[in-house]
Structure 1
Amino acid sequence: MDLGLAGSTAVVTGGSKGMGLAIATTFAEEGAKVAVMARGAEALEEATAKLRDAGAPDAVGISVEMSDASSIAAGFEIVAQRWGELNSLVHTIGPGDGYFEEMDDAQWEETFALGTMSGVRSIRAALPMLRAAQWGRIVTLSAHSIQRQNPRIVAYTASKAALSSVTKNLSKSLAKDGILVNCVCPGTIVTASFTEALKDILAADGLDATDPTDVMTWIDNNFHQPCDLGRAGLPEEIASITVYLASRRNGYVTGATVNVDGGSDFV
């Protein structure tokens, strides 16, 4: 399927690794010009090299501190100077986690700065470029925990629920501009960072943190949150639906919150 992305422009925040990099790579494979924003210079260099190999020879990595408003504004100013307009913005930034009793006000504020306000600020900075383009799309990444609660990630989930609400609201206010706005809620996804963080924990139970079926077994055993397909997902499976929603091919889906979680018991 031709997504109509050849020659278009796309920004992926958090695009240097994991789901963000999978999304940026899919844009590159579809012929888009791609800019990725993240904090670490080394990861950005590795990501842009991969994007160039995937089909975006002028891919650019922009170092941005996503908890800082001025850094976000400066990052998008680089995009404005480079392209002048923007077709697709995908925002993938996610904060840390913790139990309610463990988190003080500063940690809550930091979580909302990353989980909600980084999206607000990125969209605000991108809007003039999106409006200048012939067509524009925004996709934010929230989390299935906004519908399936987990006490271990209370602040993370609250910040992602707020981002989902902002996304839904913007779909209404930006409809008049022809800018389609949607939210993707990933379930448990086996990224490199997920595997690194949990490999020893799963190994203690005789499970492999790189194996999607083993990962879902661990999730079910510890959190009682299985999925219908019986396995965790892969970054590429998030990328395919996200890039479709952020593409010109998507002409009528807006205001949607799309679960990509292998099946669940909520609607």
Structure 2
Amino acid sequence: MDLGLEGATAVVVGGTRGMGRASAQSLADDGARVGVIARSAAQLDEVLEDLGRRGSPEPFGVSADVTDPDQIDAAFREVGECFGGQVNILVNAVGPSTRGGFDALTDEQWHEAIELGAMSMVRCVRAALPLLRSAEWARIVNFSASSTKRQGESLVAYTAAKSMIASVSKNLSLSLAREEILVNVISPGSVASEGLRGWARTVGVDGDDPYRLMAAISEHFGHPAHLPRTGLPEEIGPVVAFLASRRNSYMTGANVNVDGGTDFC
């Protein structure tokens, strides 16, 4: 299916790893010109080469710390210069790594989770809005998590930040509807990210085997899915690409679970 992305301009914040990179790849596969904003400058060159091979014309990257408002503003000024003052698609895929039970978390850790996990999205949307408003059509896709609905004790700060993303995105879908800027949320379930595979190794499980990884998640956290395996980052990217595309012309304010079926587990 042609998603109408050829010639579109897209920015993926957090696009060098995991589901963010998979999102950038899916947009590139359909011909969008992709800009990637990420903290790690070392990974950008390799990612941009990959996006170019996939069909993204002149992909580019900007290294920025998305917890720093000044760096975010500077990054989007550079995006505006590269994209001729307009952006069709903004994807916010950055997530916090904060783990720990409620009693163990310090104020500093709470602030870290909210700054990286939620305020980065708020600031990126704010910086990108003039560019999105200048485009003929525009979409915003933000990453929340299915764990906001199926809590784990060690994820209290993580899910708080992800819940904020879902709430703010819902409000943005309302306030931007009159401008026909569509805002949606994707909530992945247990996806074999680098972090999850790394955790698996600490408990003696092959994190590269999605079936064994899901069995370990079920054993340790009680979070199974209908499907007997974890998801893969490349299974998230196409969903993001659809939500970000012109083919999605009437869905806004939605929170889309991509979780292998977990609501009634």
TM-score tier (shorter): over 0.9
The aligned amino acid for 2:191 is I
Secondary structure of 1:75 counterpart: helix
Q: In structure 2, do the counterparts of structure 1 residues 199 and 221 end up closer, same or farther at CA, with 3 Å as the change threshold?
A: closer
Question: What is the CA–CA distance in structure 1 between the aligned matches of 2:123 and 2:168, rounded to whole Å?
Answer: 12
Secondary structure of 1:101 counterpart: coil
Secondary structure of 1:100 counterpart: coil
The aligned amino acid for 1:198 is W
Deviations 1:88-128 (A, max 9, x none): 00000001222212211111111100111000000001111
1:119 corresponds to 2:121: yes
TM-score, normalising length: structure 1: 0.96
The aligned counterpart of 1:44 is 44
Match of 1:183 among 171, 182, 185: 185
The aligned amino acid for 1:212 is P
> What residue ranges of structure 2 are gaps of 5+ in the alignment?
none
Question: What is the CA–CA distance in structure 2 between the aligned matches of 1:105 and 1:202, rounded to whole Å?
Answer: 29
The aligned counterpart of 1:241 is 239
Aligned length: 263
The aligned counterpart of 1:210 is 208
Deviations 1:19-64 (A, max 9, x none): 1111101111100000011111111111111111111141111101
Question: What is the CA–CA distance in structure 2 between the aligned matches of 1:184 and 1:140, rounded to whole Å?
Answer: 6
The 5 Å alignment of 1:97-116 reads 97-116=99-118
> What residue ranges of structure 1 are gaps of 5+ in the alignment?
none
What RMSD, in angstroms, separates the aligned Cα atoms of the two structures?
1.2
1:201 offset after TM fit, Å?
2.4
The aligned amino acid for 1:90 is V
Secondary structure of 2:256 counterpart: strand
The 5 Å alignment of 1:248-263 reads 248-263=246-261
Secondary structure of 1:108 counterpart: helix
Question: What is the CA–CA distance in structure 1 between the aligned matches of 2:248 and 2:111, rounded to whole Å?
Answer: 35
TM-score, normalising length: structure 2: 0.96
The 5 Å alignment of 1:86-101 reads 86-96=87-97, 97-101=99-103
The aligned counterpart of 1:135 is 137
Match of 1:151 among 144, 150, 153: 153
Deviations 1:135-179 (A, max 9, x none): 000000001111010111111100110111000010000000010
CA contact (8 A) 2:32 2:57 kept: no
CA contact (8 A) 1:216 1:230 kept: yes
Identity of aligned residues (%): 48
Question: What is the CA–CA distance in structure 2 between the aligned matches of 1:183 and 1:57, rounded to whole Å?
Answer: 27
Match of 1:163 among 154, 165, 170: 165
CA contact (8 A) 2:13 2:37 kept: yes
Question: What is the CA–CA distance in structure 1 between the aligned matches of 2:193 and 2:162, rounded to whole Å?
Answer: 19
Q: Which runs of 4+ in 1 moved over 6 A?
A: none
Secondary structure of 1:12 counterpart: strand
CA contact (8 A) 1:137 1:181 kept: yes
